[in-house]
Amino acid sequence: MSLMLTVSAVFAFPFQSVAQTLPNENGEVIEVTVKEVFSENGSGRDLGTTPITATLFRLSGYVEVEFLNYLGVVTITLNNLTTGGTSTMQINSTFGEAVIPVSLGAGNYRIDFSSSYGNYYGFFIVN
C-alpha cells in the first residue's frame, strides 16, 4: 500500500508545479484597453464596439488578441517605449485570434493594429 502512495505522490508533484505557473487573479492577467485611431486629429477614444480585444498574460509572456469583426490583414506592431525595441507581424483577422510573444523585455508597451478597415492601439506594462 505504501508503494502505491509513493508512486501517486511522484506523479502528482509535476502537475502541481505546472498549475502554479498559470496566470491567476493577482495581476498576472491584464486586459489591454484598445482604442481607435482617428486620422483627422490622431487622438483616440474608448469604444464599446472596438473590434479587437487584447489580454496580456505576464507570467507566460504573451498577448492574446481576439478579432471580433473582420478587419482583413492586420499588421500588429509591438513597441517597448522604455527600450525602443520593436516587433511586427501580420495576421489575417479571419483566423479570429493571434498570440503575440512579448520578448522585448520589461517596460511600457504600445501595441498597434493597422488594417484597411481601421487603426487601433493599446498600452500595457511588463515588469
Per-residue pLDDT of the chain (127 residues; tens, 9 = 90+): 444 433 333 343 333 333 333 444 555 789 999 999 875 544 455 445 789 999 999 888 899 999 999 999 999 999 999 999 999 999 999 999 999 998 878 899 999 999 999 999 999 998 8
Looking up cell 527600450 gives 83
Buried b (16+ CB within 10 A) or exposed e, 78-99: bbbeeeeeebeeebebeeeebe
Contact 98, 76 (CB under 8 A): yes
CATH of domain 24-126: 2.60.40.3080
- Sign for the CA dihedral angle at 113, 83, 23, 28 comes to negative
Contact 124, 111 (CB under 8 A): yes
